[in-house]
Structures are given as structure tokens and as C-alpha cells.
Amino acid sequence: MAQRRRREYLQLLDAAKTAAETGIDAFNRVWHPYRYQTTLLLLTNAWELLAKAILVQQKESIARGQRGETISAEAGIHRLQTKKLLDQGQAETVQQIISLRHAACHSVLPEVQAEVVQHLLFYGCKFFRELISKVFPGHLRSMSDNYLSLSFSDLTTYADKVQRSVSRVKKSANDKRLVWLLERGVQFDGSGYITEAQFEQKYRGKKRILPHLGLGRFIRTADMVRIVPIQAPGNYTADVTLRKGSAADSSLPVLVKKTDVEADYPYLTKELGQRISKNQNWTARAVAVLGLKGDPKYHQAVRASVKSLVHRYSAAALESLRQKLAGEPTFNPYGTQAPA
């Protein structure tokens, strides 16, 4: 008896998942002189196949032309965006991958910074998995949850590197071409790419380039990713703090600080209270009301068990409480709303 042929959209979905994981494998290989190009080719292939799987599953035609061709990757992603299966930021991320893929496939890929490729690979795969989970529940189980990549470089972010490339557009042919390839991905309207001449027209005669590009908006609204390898020596904990950057700097600042918790946060809540002649409950309420609790300058929570934390406070927290009481001796934390 002939074996029943797997439905077309499932064949496309299986191939899409295989292409995505093969692309990740290509990026993580120790020796791969064509790493970025191969990753871009395979990740674009994965997205094109996933888009077609979704469209076929929804009984939509993926045909193009009169010779049996099917729609391009960029057209497929645009249709997913039109159907609200991808939001603008997600679609623009994938379109940049596709644009760079076309350059790598049909010409020579310009030099691309590691941060740019890591950003596109991370979010390209993240959005890929989210879309499968949304449209094909249950089909994500065959994919791995973890893909470990080692890095010993002091890297920044996509935003930081793109800003630097934009600042060199008028001086560097490589940066100019790279920015154009990323910009045409962001600007894809479903019909065709902007030409390099149209790209140049956007900033010609302008002192600042980025505000006149779609990339400027993309950087302001997109989440950034930074790979931070942290080696924590014995008796150290590792804390990574995200803070909002300035309006003039869209790159993600990451400060890695090694802390000896007992030395830098010497006071338990009770001990902090004893230093200012207050009981433990009063002190716990005061540090919450004054915003000291949760601020790494003043407070650190250390896990004591699966369900409990021990709260420790720095010398700066003690000084802050002393100054508060010196300036307002009748301060009553119970009569004050704690910050949300």
C-alpha cells in the first residue's frame, strides 16, 4: 500500500525548521570562513519556507509568474505582515536578513559587524519560533530550546554599530553599502527595493543622516540584544542591570560589576535599624518608601532558599537614612505611600 504523502504545508514547515537550525549551526561552527553568508542564506530560506507553509495552510496561492515560480522571501514576509501575523518591527528585522542574503548570494557581502549579525540572528530566530508557536501549536517541540554560542569579545549592540556605520557613510564605501542593504530591508513596501541612488537621495545635503532613514526609527523602537559572557569567581554573584539610555544614545549600555555581597552590603534590615535606633519593621518600611530597596546602590537581595530572600543594605543606604532623619526627625514611613 502506497504511503500517504505528507501535506504540502507540513513539508514546507519541516524544511523551514531544518533550515533555521542548520543556519544556527553554521553560525556556531568553530571554523567557517563563510559563516555570515551561510547563516543569512539559510535563515532567509527558513523564513521563506515558513511564510509559504502558513499561506498554503490558509489555502492561499504562493504562485508567481507563468513558469511555476513561487513568491520571493521578501514578498512572503510582507504578506505575513499584512495579515498581522508579524508586527512592523518583526517584519523589518526579517527583511534586513533577506536583504543581506540577496547581497551575499548575488554579489560580495560587505563587511558586517558581529553585533549586527548577532542581533539579526537572535531576533530572527526568536520571531521564527514565536510565529510557529502562534500558527502551528505543537510543532515547536521538535526544535531545541537552547543554542549555546561562545564569545570572548567586548561587543556592544546592533544600534551602536549601525550608528557608527551611518556616521561613516560619506567616507566608507563598505559602510555605505551595508547601511543601504539594511535600509532597503526596513523600507521594503511589498513591491520592490529602493535603489542605492534613492537611498543616497534621502540624506543628500543633510548634515545628520540617521534621522532621515527608516533605520533611525527602527533603532529607536526595536529591542536590542547584547551577548555578555560573565565569569563569576567563587563567592561572587553576577548581576546584569538594564537601564534606560539617554535620548541621544540608542545603544544598550551594559555594566558588568563584580560584587562581594557581604562586603558591599554589610547590613541586614535589623542591623540597619539598630544603627539608626529603629526597629526592623520601621526600617523595612522606610527603605521601601524612600526607594532604597531595589536600587543596587543601596540594596541587594540574596536568595536564602527556594522561596525566601535575605535583604542586605550598603553603607550608602545607612547614610541616606541618617540624612533623612537629620533633616526630618519626625519622619514616619507608615504615613507615606511606598513607590510602585
pLDDT at 255 over 90: no
Categorise residue 188: left if φ over 0, alpha if ψ from -120 to 50, beta otherwise: beta
> Residues 77, 83, 87, 88: what is their CA dihedral angle, to the nearest 10 degrees?
60
Helix (H, G, I), strand (E, B) or coil at 96: helix
pLDDT digits (tens, 9 = 90+) for 85-118: 999 999 999 999 999 999 999 999 999 999 999 9
Question: What does the block give as the cell for 153?
Answer: 569579545
pLDDT digits (tens, 9 = 90+) for 193-221: 999 999 999 999 998 999 999 999 999 99
Dihedral sign from CA coordinates of 162, 164, 166, 171: negative
Contact (CB, 8 A) for 174 and 110? yes
Please spell the DSSP secondary structure of 213-241, one letter per residue.
SHHHHHHHHS-----------TT-EEEEE
User: Which is more confident, 258 or 104?
Assistant: 104
pLDDT at 1 over 60: no
**pTM, rounded to two decimals:** 0.73
pLDDT digits (tens, 9 = 90+) for 276-286: 999 999 999 99
Residue-level pLDDT at 278? 94
Q: Where are the domains of the chain?
A: 8-221, 262-335
pLDDT digits (tens, 9 = 90+) for 159-179: 999 999 999 999 999 999 999
Q: How confident is the model at residue 232 (pLDDT cuts 50, 70, 90)?
A: confident
Average pLDDT over residues 61-78: 93
**CB-based contacts of 272, cutoff 8 Å, min separation 6:** 283, 287, 313, 317, 318, 321
Q: Of 142, 152, 156, 171, which Cα lies nearest the Cα of 21?
A: 142
Grid cell 526600617 is found at 283
Q: Distance between CA atoms of 19 and 42, rounded to whole angstroms? A: 5
Q: Any long-range contacts for 308-311 (C-beta under 8 Å, 24+ apart)?
A: 310/268, 311/268, 311/269, 311/284
| Partners of residue 257 on adjacent β-strands | 239
Residue-level pLDDT at 19? 97
